[in-house]
Each structure stands twice: as C-alpha cells, then as structure tokens.
Amino acid sequence: MANQEDIFKKVISHAKEYGYIFQSSEIYDGLSAVYDYAQNGAELKKNIREYWWRAMVQLNKNIVGIDAAILMHPTTWKASGHVDAFNDPLIDNKDSKKRYRADVLVEDYTAKIESKIEKEVKKAAKRFGDSFDKAQFLTTNQRVVEYQKKIDAILKRLGKSLENEDLADVKALIEELGIVCPVSGSTNWTDVKQFNLMFGTKLGASADSAMDLYLRPETAQGIFVNFLNVQKTGRMKIPFGIAQTGKAFRNEIVARQFIFRMREFEQMEMQFFVKPGSQKEWYEAWKENRMKWHLSLGLGEENYRFHDHEKLAHYADAATDIEFRFPFGFKELEGIHSRTDFDLSAHEKHSGKKLQYFDHEMNESYVPYVVETSIGLDRMFLAIFSHSLQEETLENNTTRTVLKLPAVLAPTKAAVLPLVKKDGLPEVAHQIVEDLKWDFNVVYDEKDAVGRRYRRQDAVGTPFCITVDHQSLEDQTVTLRHRDTMEQQRVAISEVKGIISKEVDMKSWLIKM
Ligand code: ATP
C-alpha cells in the first residue's frame, strides 16, 4: 500500500489535473497557502455549501441565514478578543530558518505515538481474530497504556502552558521531548513567541484619515453584531439560530497541508442562541446533529471521531472537534463550542448598546448563551475529495482511478456519450443533454473510444454515463453506466432522468440524517 505522503501527493495532483483546484496566481509561482477552485472544484464546493445550508437553514424552522460583510468596524475585533488574543505560538529553527507552530510540533509528536498505538491494535486484531476486543486491549495492554499515558501527560502540560501563556515552558517541552526540525534535523530552536493571525488593511484614501481594519478571521462576529436585528425583524424566539457561510482570513504561520490550512478560506458557521443554563443540553444536541450530517454522506463512521478540548478558549465553557481521517491522519474538520454569553456581552460593553432578549414566558431580559458549530468548507472539500479518490484493481488486473464522490455532491451528474461520431448518434446524444440540462449539470463527450471516456468520467467523479448507440435509434434506449459498480443497464431514454434524480436528489441524502 502507498504511504500517507504518496496518497496525499496523489490527491493534490489529481485535484489539479481534473480541474478541481489550482494554486493561486500560478503563473507567478503561486501565493503560499492560497488556492483557486477550478471548474469542477467550484461546483463541488457549491454543492457542499448547499448541502450544509439546506440541513441548517431549510430543515430547521428556527434557524435563518445571513450574509454579513467581510469588513467590519475595527472595535468588533477588540470586543471579540481577536486583537489581544488571536495568537499562535511560533518557534523558528535556527539552522533551517523554518518557522513552526510550537503547539503543532508537540501535537505531531503525540500523533506519532498514537500511530504506534494503532499499529499495536492492528497487530493484536490479526493475532486474536474474531475474539479481539479493542476496548479491552486499549485499557489492558501494558505497552499501549504506557503510550496513552505519555500522550495524555504531554498534551496536558502543553494545554496548561498555553493557557498560562508560559511560552518558556512550551519551549522546554519541545526540548525535553527532543523534537527535531523536520528540515534540518536539529534541535536548535529560538524562544517561542506569540504571533497575531489577523490580516490588517485600511479603509479610506488619504493616509491621515484612513482607518485601520482587519479582514475577518471568522464569520461568527458578523452574526453576533446582527443578533438583535435578526431577532427583531424575524420575530425569532429563543432558542434560535443564525447561519452564515463566507470567507475568513488568517495569516497562518505554517501553511503546508494544501487546502487544509489556508490563509484565505471559507467557513460555514451557525450560532445558536439559548437560555442561560440550557447550553450543555444544546451543546450535546448539536454534537449529535452535526455528526449525523457528516455520516449522511457515507464516508464511513470509522473516519470520524470527537476530540473534546482540555484547553478551552477564553470564550468557551465546553468545546469539541469533529476530527476526520485525512491522508495525513485524524485532524480537526469542525469545531462545536459552547461560547457562553462571552461575545454578546463583550459587544454590549464595547458598543454601549443592549444586546438582550426579552423572554415573554419568564418576563425578563437576558443576554443569551451561544452554542456554535463551525466547519471549514475547504476542509470539508478535502475530506470528501481525499476519501473519494480511489485506485481499484479490476478483474482483468488493470487498474482504474475513480473519484467516488457522493453522487449528491458530484460537479457533473452525467456524461452523454455517442458511441461513434456519425450515423445520427451525436444528434440523439445532444438532444438528451438538452433535456437533462434543466435538472442537472451534464456534459457531452465524443472524443476517443468509449472505454477511455468512461475512465475519464470515473476520474473526474461523474456518477453516470449515458451511451447512445445504433440500437438507440431503433428503440429509444441507451446504456446507463454506474461509476461505482461499473454496472451497465439498458434503459429507455425517457427513464434516465428519473433514475439519476433518485440518486442525486438532496432530499434522499439529507433524510438519512
Ligand atoms: P486549527 O486548530 O486547525 O487552526 P481552529 O481551531 O483555529 O483550527 P476554528 O477557529 O475553530 O479553527 O475554525 C473553525 C473551522 O474553520 C475549523 O474547524 C476548520 O475547519 C476551519 N479552518 C480554520 N482555520 C482554517 C484554515 N486556515 N484553513 C482552512 N480551514 C480553516
């Protein structure tokens, strides 16, 4: 089996070759950690966004969506804590001159211990066969228990040092663990420093009247500052939610993992406003709801896990990540945070305006508590894309590369292929495209032998191919080929739309939630 690094390289090159993702400004050698979505990528991204939006806004009567501006009054970021505390701890290696996030260096170290645990589990599973009890093994195998203890101790100390802003101890931890720079291999580290991740910009033309602004580092604040506007104009009753998708910008220190960590990215966030005291209940409910959303896409339950936070951000009283098994291991895909009344209270203080809800049942006003779900659209894209890219060995020992995207999200739902470029077959194929284009994205392809065209559509992720042959002229039937099974069925042209609809319709996927 190919190693993780090779698989990830394959994902990146496939994304480029099949028109999903290009490096930004590639002709100028690109811009680090900034990417452009190409013709197929833009469609896939739009479909993921819509899948999220429908699940959030359309299916929940008490959630509405907004679209706030990227630029906001600068006091917003003072109130939210981003000016003072939106920092990452950075460390440089003096030999390679490479810069790292100190916490990520430590987490990568513990991830290596974790993969040792996984190896032990695999070995034991093989040895014990059907009688293998994983949970028991994890708690009783001496070596595994020691590994886990070590991981817990390291993460606990890291969490504590970061919380206390004890950067000297973060450096001491890196030194004690003997963590080396992956480039130079040395332990010649600088001190750990804090680095603010917000991009600054200016509003206005003349230098003296210009106002310092930030590009928003998260979409959430656009929701908080509009809380009362939405509540009043929508006559919303607590509990209710406000959802939003949009760009966010972070001057990330280490930005290596393709679209996993970008400097310009898109978030899909939902802030759910609840009665103080009920936040734990809603936090649990949203954890469950969001996991169901993920599982409805069928990427496999074993590829997700929760990671509850030990170290809580300044605004949270509980937090968890939904982690996904990316080609480089389990990493955060979505965050679910119980944010208390931190944000609304802070905006009250800084703006001098009340941001309270009058509860008619209780006959009193209060600042609601907030439970938020926050997912990176680009990370979701990477999760789906990397999981879907598969290399299959076929019966005749040839291989095929197939992008098994969930059909509901695939950029193009069907390719219409005339078997040959003559005898009136292209005309029939074009007519099918004309009929289907009102309902789905479809393409027409007549170049090369039909087998090669099938492979091309497999690689780009099109769930259906519709082949028009001479028999089609006589009996109005076509061959419908399914991407995942490669099964071919003869169907009437009039039935094609119904068959495709059933498989790509959002309702039939979302209903599995
Ligand atoms: P990380 O620990 O990976 O830096 P975070 O905890 O800072 O992420 P949040 O602030 O909770 O992330 O943002 C919510 C979601 O936004 C994340 O779960 C992730 O999917 C996405 N996200 C955050 N930063 C980036 C980025 N630089 N590029 C792409 N997606 C991002």
In 10 A of CB 382, how many CB atoms? 25
- β pairing state of 414-418 and 442-444: parallel
Distance from C-alpha of 63 to C-alpha of 285, rounded to nearest angstrom? 15
Q: How do 369-376 and 329-340 pair as beta strands?
A: antiparallel
- Rounded Cα distance, 416 and 163, in Å: 58
33 lines ligand 1 (CB under 6 A): no
User: What does DSSP assign to residue 454?
Assistant: H
From the CB of 252, is ligand 1 less than 6 Å away? yes
Q: Is the CB of 335 under 6 A from ligand 1?
A: yes
pLDDT in tens, the chain (513 residues): 467 888 999 999 999 999 999 999 999 999 999 999 999 999 999 999 999 999 999 999 999 999 999 999 999 999 999 998 888 899 999 999 998 999 999 999 999 999 999 999 999 999 988 888 988 999 999 999 999 999 999 999 998 998 888 999 999 999 999 999 999 999 999 999 999 999 999 888 776 777 889 999 999 999 999 999 999 999 999 999 999 999 999 999 877 789 999 999 999 999 999 999 999 999 999 999 999 999 999 999 999 999 998 777 777 899 999 999 999 999 999 999 999 999 999 999 999 999 999 999 999 999 999 999 999 999 999 999 999 999 999 888 899 999 999 999 999 999 999 999 999 999 999 999 999 999 999 999 999 999 999 999 999 999 999 999 999 999 999 999 999 999 999 999 999 999 999 999 999 999 999
Rounded Cα distance between 168 and 450, Å, is 64
- pLDDT for res 204: 82
142-163 vs 167-176: helix crossing angle, rounded to 10: 150
Residue (of 464, 471, 482) closest to 428 by Cα position: 471
Q: Percent helix, strand and coil across the chain, each rounded to 5?
A: 40, 25, 30
Cα dihedral 237, 239, 242, 248, rounded to 10, equals: 150
**Tokens coding 282:** 């809603």
How many helices (H) and strands (E) would you count in the chain?
18, 23
SS (H, E, C) 420-466: CCCCCHHHHHHHHHHHHCCCCCEEECCCCCHHHHHHHHHHHCCCEEE
Q: Is 166 in the pocket of ligand 1 (CB under 6 A)?
A: no
What the chain holds in terms of domains, given with CATH numbers, is 41-73+197-391 (3.30.930.10), 87-194 (no CATH), 394-510 (3.40.50.800)
**What is the per-residue pLDDT for 2?**
64
In angstroms, the CA 485 to CA 334 distance is 31
Q: Is 253 in the pocket of ligand 1 (CB under 6 A)?
A: no
Q: CA nearest 175: which of 191, 152, 155?
A: 191
Tell me how far apart the alpha carbons of residues 329 and 399 are, in angstroms, rounded to a whole number.
Answer: 26
Which residue's CA is minimally distant from atom 8 of ligand 1? 332
Please name every residue paired with 340 in a beta bridge, in sequence order, or none if there are none.
Answer: 370
d(CA 358, CA 368): 10
pTM: 0.89
Decide whether any atom of ligand 1 lies within 6 Å of the 357 Cβ: no
The preferred substitution site among 267, 287, 314 for testing ligand 1, maximizing ligand atoms within 8 Å of CB, is 267
